[in-house]
């Protein structure tokens, strides 16, 4: 019996070895082991045990374990490891089907929550004609919407019943923490076990190679903040390609007209979100009025739903009504728009810049999807970089039973908006635009943890770690990212 067991283990090990050798990252993995074998701490007279210890201390053991787990789970199902005829075609199984299913379930859950809120507050989910008195006040105060008393002293008629609209009754449909909890509670699922392909540090260095050259335009960041903003404005205008055509202005006026004519639950959610976030932020409260305009029009923009189809973005289910844009407001959504207030005086230019950035990048950070630029891939990249390049921090988090993603998820999902000072946030977003990648978010999160590693290693609770990382006002984006990409 023992002989048969040993034979089975040998066959499994052989299949795993062959599978690992066929992977794209096998060469890098093998090279890293070779480097460890040459380390002075590895004793040639006790090679096996000393090398195993070096692999554990380097964090490479976790990477290897996750790799083997992933192979067994996806490509080498246990019940087929021994009896499969390699000459016969094998049925193709999508290893990410559970992730796509989770994305659809999350989307339904968000829209159902919105529908339930409408039922509780007895308001129409699909919106209703705005009362003439309300419309007149909204028109009068369009440029100073912070003085528009939405949900405070307005009465509306719903099926001949007067209902007092108290904004305090409205709550964000979800917050970053809610999405993270869903991701971490999917059965038998952790970021490190997901069979998505993400770059290693060497591939990231190649992708951001131009950033490391001294003669690049990023040298202007060293001059002053005004140069930073001027450079970014040029980048954004190139991103938009041309000035806004007449039809763009007409479409903006159409969105504005829809806001004036139709009362929708998302109006209250927009006001609530801005009041909870931007209005309480020393860097953005002065833009409160224009943010109301931008986000109200954004909620009515039906073109957005068409623009983001794909990337596993789920169209609204027929069962539940959704905002015309297809985007259910969540806690902090206005912070994707707030930084653009520093760049444009015109609400129209501001709107189309923000919309282009949201459609290209931000929506991938707020849905469960399999896109290589999606929030799941960004989290996976963060974990792999942490395991490989900060093994002491990784082990510290594991010992404390704190999932490392919990520490940085709020940064990643909001692309650091509201966490970095605006001048540095615009630098970071300029890198996203310039290199057309959200991967810089993971790199930046890692280097911040590295920068404050010694303090983190001295504490033992999530609250203490959050306190250490709460103030990012002294962080400079370009020097730290260069340090992260140039390090060994």
Q: Residue 156 corresponds to which tokens in the numbers above?
A: 């509306």
Confirm whether 40 is domain-assigned. Answer: yes
Confirm whether 18 is domain-assigned. Answer: yes
Q: 81 or 210, which is more confident?
A: 210
**What gap in Å lies between CA 55 and CA 154, rounded to an integer?**
66
Beta bridge partners of 32: none
Which residues, 6+ apart, have CB-to-CB distance to 465 below 8 Å? 402, 407, 456, 459
Q: Is the pLDDT of residue 451 over 90?
A: yes
| Three-state secondary-structure class, residue 24 | coil
- The structure's pTM equals 0.79
Confirm whether 313 is domain-assigned. Answer: no
Determine the pLDDT at residue 53: 78
Q: Which segment of 297-311, 388-402, 443-457 scores lowest on mean pLDDT?
A: 297-311
Mean pLDDT across 450-467: 96
Confirm whether 151 is domain-assigned. Answer: no
Alpha carbon separation from 225 to 167, 170, 209, 474 (Å, rounded)? 38, 39, 24, 14
Determine the pLDDT at residue 7: 55
Q: Report the run of H or E that residue 162 belongs to, with start and end.
A: strand 161-164
Cβ distance 97 to 308 under 8 Å? no
Which residues, 6+ apart, have CB-to-CB distance to 337 below 8 Å? 291, 294, 295, 298, 350, 354, 358
Cβ distance 210 to 216 under 8 Å? yes
Mean pLDDT across 208-224: 59
Confirm whether 34 is domain-assigned. Answer: yes
**What gap in Å lies between CA 260 and CA 135, rounded to an integer?**
6
Number of H helices, E strands in the chain: 22, 4
Question: pLDDT (tens digit, 9 = 90+) per residue, 105-153?
Answer: 999 999 999 999 998 988 887 889 999 999 999 999 999 999 987 754 3
Confirm whether 305 is domain-assigned. Answer: no
Place of tokens 């003439």: 132
Query: Domain containing 27: what range?
Result: 12-71
Question: pLDDT (tens digit, 9 = 90+) per residue, 268-296?
Answer: 999 999 999 999 999 999 999 999 999 99
Determine the pLDDT at residue 88: 53
Query: How many independent structural domains does the chain possess?
Result: 1
In terms of average pLDDT, the best of 298-312, 382-396, 444-458 is: 444-458
Q: Residue 293 corresponds to which tokens in the numbers above?
A: 């305009």
Q: Which segment of 44-58, 220-234, 363-377 scores lowest on mean pLDDT?
A: 220-234
**What gap in Å lies between CA 403 and CA 40, rounded to an integer?**
33
Determine the pLDDT at residue 211: 86
Confirm whether 191 is domain-assigned. Answer: no
Confirm whether 450 is domain-assigned. Answer: no
Question: pLDDT (tens digit, 9 = 90+) per residue, 323-376?
Answer: 899 999 999 999 999 999 999 989 999 999 999 999 999 999 999 999 999 999
Q: What is the mean pLDDT of the chain?
A: 81
Q: Is the pLDDT of residue 194 over 70?
A: yes
């Amino acid at each position: 019996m023992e002989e048969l067991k040993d034979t089975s283990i040998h066959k499994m090990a052989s299949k795993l070895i062959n599978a690992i050798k066929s992977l794209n990252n096998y060469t890098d993995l093998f090279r890293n082991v070779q480097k460890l074998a040459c380390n002075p701490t590895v004793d040639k007279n006790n090679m096996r045990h000393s090398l195993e210890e070096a692999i554990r201390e380097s964090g490479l053991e976790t990477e290897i374990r996750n790799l083997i787990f992933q192979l067994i789970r996806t490509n080498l199902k246990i019940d087929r490891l021994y009896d499969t005829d390699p000459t016969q075609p094998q049925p193709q199984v999508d290893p990410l089907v559970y992730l796509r299913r989770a994305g659809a379930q999350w989307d339904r859950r968000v829209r159902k929550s919105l529908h339930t809120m409408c039922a509780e507050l007895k308001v129409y989910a699909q919106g209703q004609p705005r009362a003439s008195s309300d419309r007149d006040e909204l028109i009068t105060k369009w440029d100073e919407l912070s003085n528009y008393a939405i949900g405070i002293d307005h009465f509306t008629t719903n099926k001949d019943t007067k209902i007092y609209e108290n904004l305090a009754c409205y709550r964000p449909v979800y917050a970053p923490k809610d999405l993270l909890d869903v991701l971490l509670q999917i059965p038998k699922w952790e970021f490190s076990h997901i069979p998505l392909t993400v770059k290693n540090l060497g591939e990231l260095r190649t992708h951001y190679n131009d950033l490391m050259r001294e003669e690049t335009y990023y040298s202007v960041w060293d001059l002053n903040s005004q140069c930073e903003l001027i450079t970014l404005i040029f980048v954004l205008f190139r991103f938009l390609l041309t000035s806004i055509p007449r039809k763009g202005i007409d479409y903006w006026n159409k969105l504005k007209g829809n806001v004036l004519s139709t009362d929708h639950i998302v109006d209250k959610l927009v006001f609530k979100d801005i009041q909870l976030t931007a209005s309480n932020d020393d860097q953005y409260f002065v833009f409160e009025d224009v943010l109301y305009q931008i986000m109200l029009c954004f909620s009515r923009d039906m073109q957005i739903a068409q623009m983001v189809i794909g990337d596993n973005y789920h169209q609204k289910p027929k069962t539940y009504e959704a905002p015309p844009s297809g985007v259910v407001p969540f806690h902090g959504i206005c912070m994707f728009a707030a930084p653009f207030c520093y760049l444009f005086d015109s609400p129209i230019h501001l709107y189309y810049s923000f919309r282009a950035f949201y459609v290209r990048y931000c929506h991938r950070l707020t849905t469960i999807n399999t896109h290589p630029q999606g929030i799941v891939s960004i989290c996976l990249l963060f974990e792999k970089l942490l395991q490989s390049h900060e093994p002491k921090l990784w082990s510290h988090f594991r010992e404390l039973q704190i999932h490392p993603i919990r520490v940085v998820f709020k940064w990643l999902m909001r692309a650091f908006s509201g966490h970095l000072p605006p001048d540095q946030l615009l630098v970071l977003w300029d890198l996203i635009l310039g290199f057309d990648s959200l991967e810089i978010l993971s790199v930046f999160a890692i280097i911040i943890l590295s920068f404050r590693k010694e303090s983190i290693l001295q504490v033992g609770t999530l609250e203490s770690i959050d306190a250490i990382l709460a103030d990012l006002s002294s962080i400079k984006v370009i020097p730290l990212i260069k340090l992260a990409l140039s390090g060994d």
